Amino acid sequence: MDSNKKLGLIGRNISYSFSKKFFEDKFQKLMLKDFSYDIFDTKEIGDVEGLFSDPQLLGFNVTIPYKEKIIDYLDDLSDEARQIGAVNCVLVQDGKKTGYNTDAFGFEKTLMLHKKPYHNSALILGDGGAAKAVKYVLDKNGITSKTVSRASELNFDNLDKETVREHKIIIQCTPVGTFPNVEDCLNFPFEGLTEEHLVIDLIYNPNYTRFIINASEKGAKTANGYYMLEQQAEKAWEIWNFQKK
């Protein structure tokens, strides 16, 4: 019997994937011949049903735009995933499909690496699945936050430099500026930034988004999404391999 364990990533229009390379490198390093990691580029979330029918499927990562939509197809959620309302990692065990959120773990690691005592309030730019994980971590660490999105009361049209100045952590959670659209940038009052600001852009490709470049020109401390991505992937690996009930 073939004991191949299948992992992968589901999303839409996935032109490149950190995850595939990350896990294939890991299989090689650990000399695991029976693992594979594939890209499941799905036009509709319903296509995931076909994936679940594969008996060799051990689990998968979830990216834009399915982190919230996938929940309807799962049997159970971890505490974090339930509170956040978004899933980026699924474990399939004995036919049971459980959703986890390892974005929260990855973001918390990134935040704690850079956070200073005066970083006690934040602006979250965007309101998708990643933004929800960010808010969960900020709440958990007693950092007050406001969300800025197209639909929120505080939005990209009325956000002013005074509001930016008052919030010393800025987390960019939208896909704006992702490769290949590297010159795109959110409408944001960069002049409100100071040297006390910590600006985290969750994008990792390119390494330095236009948003990060603009922020660093104002003296802000900046970080991209690479470390978060690495950490959430390590956490997913742990879930797939050590989550024995």
Res 89: pLDDT: 98
- Considering the candidates 6, 67, 132, 221, report the single residue annotated as catalytic: 67
Give the full edge-to-edge strand order of the sheet including 35-41.
35-41, 5-11, 59-62, 89-93, 96-100, 76-77
Tokens of 194: 């100071």
Average pLDDT, stretch 165-172? 98
| pLDDT beyond 60 at 68 | yes
pLDDT in tens, 190-240: 999 999 999 999 999 999 999 999 999 999 999 999 999 999 999 999 999
| pLDDT beyond 50 at 97 | yes
Average pLDDT over the chain reads 95
104-227 belongs to which homologous superfamily?
A: NAD(P)-binding Rossmann-like Domain (3.40.50.720)
Domain spanning 5-101, CATH class: alpha beta
pLDDT in tens, 99-117: 999 999 999 999 999 999 9
Active site residue 109: no
Rounded CA-CA distance 44/52 in Å is 14
> Which pTM does this prediction carry?
0.92
Res 17: pLDDT: 79
| pLDDT beyond 70 at 243 | no
Contacts of 234 (CB under 8 A, 6+ apart): none
- Percent pLDDT > 70 in the chain is 97
Res 2: pLDDT: 52
Average pLDDT, stretch 168-185? 95
| pLDDT beyond 60 at 1 | no
Rounded CA-CA distance 218/168 in Å is 13
Res 245: pLDDT: 42
The span from the first CA to the last CA of the chain, in angstroms, equals 24
Domains of the chain, by residue range, sit at 5-101, 104-227
